[in-house]
Amino acid sequence: MSDASDELSQMRENYTAGAFRRSDLRHCPLEQFSEWMKEVQSAEIIEPNACTLATSSIAGSPSTRSVLLKGIENGYFLFFTNFGSRKARELKENPQAVMHFPWWGMQRQATVEGLVDRLDEDSAEEYFHSRPLESRLGAWASRQSEVIDSRESLENAFEEVAERFGENPPKPSFWGGFRLKPETLEFWQGRTGRLHDRFRYSRTTENEWKIERLSP
């Protein structure tokens, strides 16, 4: 094996941050998620609301990328993107998705699985107009996930939309929000000896939550 492989095989972290017990669990997984999110924020973990969003084509080939969780409303997890992007195209043909929150700095992760649909336009408008001007113009300039010939053409597109819309760009029709309705949420806390604590909440047919401990 190469030096890099030797180093990789020796890399390991001992998870000693603490236990996560059944008695620590909130009855509602959304409250549990919010509690962990607050703790992650307090720990000053970078981009606490960034997660990996996994989607899949109808043929079953998966893809992942980071997105920012921008709210939890009425039990839905919200994120925003370009409707022409690969993720949006895949969600249109297959609404099943996973959001994985990699809070490694706290020896934790949370995984949220469910079905995704589009957020209503009014809420997307509201969020769009809360963004900094550069981000709003950037949404217009980017044909997200498409091949472009150069950085220059992207910057030219940005200049054009800046000239066209000035200080007040409207929300592009090709940009907006999605919302994931959680069916399962898993909370993972690293422990010593790889005997990690894992709890999974699953939505029941009565719209309640079943809680199970999973083997690490």
Residue 194 annotated in active site: yes
Choose among 208, 14, 34: nearest CA to 107. Answer: 14
Residue at token pair 């509690």 = 35
Pick the catalytic residue from 194, 200, 203, 213: 194
108 near 36, Cβ under 8 Å? yes
| Contact flags string 36-75 toward ligand FMN, x per CB under 6 A | -----------x--x------------x-xxxx-------
| Greatest C-alpha distance within the chain | 59
128 near 171, Cβ under 8 Å? yes
Pick 90 or 197: Cβ nearer ligand FMN? 90
Residues 130-189 that bind ligand FMN (CB under 6 A): 144-145
115 near 96, Cβ under 8 Å? yes
Pick 80 or 187: Cβ nearer ligand FMN? 80
Should residue 87 be labelled a site residue for ligand FMN when binding is judged by CB under 6 A? Answer: yes
Interface with ligand FMN: number of residues (CB under 6 A): 16
Rounded Cα gap, residues 10 and 7, in angstroms: 5
Which residues of the chain form contacts with ligand FMN (CB under 6 A)? 47, 50, 63, 65-68, 79-82, 85-87, 144-145
